[in-house]
Copies of this chain bind each other. A is one copy, B any other.
Amino acid sequence: MADKVTIADVARAAGVSRQTVSNALNTPEVVREETRRRVLDVVEELGYRVNLAARQMRTGRSRLIAARIDPEQDGINGSVGDRFLHGLTETAAAEGYRVLLYTAKANGDDGEIAAFDDLLGAHEPDAFVLMATHHGDRRTSWLTERGVPFVTFGRPWSEPTAAGHPWVDVDGAAGTDAATRHLLSRGHRRIGFLGWPKGSGVGDDRREGWRRALAEVGLGTAGLFTETEDDVAPGEQAARRLLDADPEITALVCASDSLALGALHVARAPGPAWHAGGHPHRPVAVVGFDDTPVAKAIGLTSVRQPIGEVASSCLRQLAHQLDGGAGAPPEHLLLPPSLVVRASG
Which of A53, A69, A70, A121 has the most chain B CB atoms inside 10 A of its CB?
A53
Q: Is A78's CB within 8 Å of the partner chain B? A: yes
Inter-chain contact A72/B62, CB cutoff 8 Å: no
A121's closest neighbor in chain B, by CB?
Answer: B49
Considering the chains assembled together, what is the distance between the CA atoms of A175 and B82 in angstroms?
27
Range class of the A interface residue count:
35 or more
Number of identical monomers bound together in the oligomeric complex: 2
Within 8 A of B (CB), among A117-161: 119, 121-124, 146-147
CB contact between A62 and one of B53, B82, B105, B296 (< 8 Å): that residue: B53
Which B residues are CB-close (under 8 A) to A86? 69-72, 103
Inter-chain contact B102/A297, CB cutoff 8 Å: no
Inter-chain contact B99/A100, CB cutoff 8 Å: yes
Mask, A55-90, CB within 8 Å of B = 1, is 011000011100001111011101101110110011
Inter-chain contact A89/B75, CB cutoff 8 Å: no
The smallest beta-carbon distance between A322 and chain B, in angstroms, is 16
Inter-chain contact A293/B99, CB cutoff 8 Å: no
Inter-chain contact A52/B100, CB cutoff 8 Å: no
Which B residues are CB-close (under 8 A) to A292? 75, 293
Further contacts, 20 of them, CB under 8 A, given A49-B122, A75-B79, A75-B292: A1-B147, A52-B124, A53-B57, A54-B57, A63-B123, A69-B85, A76-B293, A78-B79, A79-B82, A79-B293, A81-B82, A85-B101, A89-B101, A98-B101, A98-B122, A98-B123, A99-B100, A100-B101, A101-B101, A294-B294
